[in-house]
Structure 1
């Protein structure tokens, strides 16, 4: 079987974009993030004995290898075919090594450095302006999607967006300018709940044995979404140059 057959069998779709969870119009960076997020779910380190997970991981790598190559992606977009004999799809390729080359381990120091340089930067401002449009001015959705931002950052983020509106860089969307008291109250309740949970986790993390391990697992699960969003930006800064891909095109067998 070829790659498209594998995609259909393992993911229920032969569309490489659907397999990676991205749109056909997605940028190279967005395709890369889609690969990262989906491959985390089936990485061999999570379930080394699960053969289907390993097969899904390898197939995700192949799908990304095709879409990350400009020429192969163009041919796939235009004709729906891929080159099964290209260097990027070699059967003997170590897909775990390929993944680690793309996404080298990022240290806590890297994370802290990113946060310190990102907050208040032009990069953050442009990201918030884009989120404003994507979220239709809904501040709740903007806060959920913003990187390195907690409830305490809302006044600062509101100020950034309002300044952009005043300067004519953004339209004055009603969802932002006339938010209902009900939505504000709901967001405050959510922030208060998260704050209380954070305090409980801090207490639990001081426990010994099983209690501590349970707290760590819950904390990791709760922050997985935020981590993926942050890591997507960090890997752009610290990842190595991606491996070269083949150039030939050949119809799926």
Structure 2
């Protein structure tokens, strides 16, 4: 099973927990919470603009897990000292991260989540994130689209134009991954993105999602009920499998650090 840091590298393209949240290492708890709030809005499962719900949910859950570690002074200090995390103490597989979010930000509504995306697009903040993603990925557009908040495949041409202008002006270096990208690779990425968008639109139709906020709220409530049913089914399966077991006690002890 991949470790937390390995999952961060795979999903966020960095194994630095502070970079996952988008803050400096010396960030205050207030700055940490603000960074988590900002990124969680982009990956929140209730964002209907996300074309890939499963990927967004994984990002949201991992982001929340990272924040829970850095928000704990003892665990943060251990990470700062060793560059590692106590996997057994930090995994929290059964935690409801959506509920964790709502406890931290009780006043945030689904409308707030959507408005964040609208304000972020085309902003100075998006430009800063785009430059950073370009530099860290050395111009890999797939990574850029996966890193910059709230973007979809429809933003690719807009991003590409901005980056070309910045390269021309000497503000960014010219990377081969960007300027000499294989046409087949780009076409395959576009085809996959359009397919995901079509699947998302079909799912919206199944949920009978209208354009107004009440329809959005109803769809969210419906998804929450479905998640609750899934949880009940899972618990029932566990009870059926292990409820009559006579084995007792906890397995093993604390895992050693790498």
Structure of higher RCO (CA pairs closer than 8 Å, 6+ residues apart): 1
Q: TM-score, normalised by structure 1?
A: 0.49
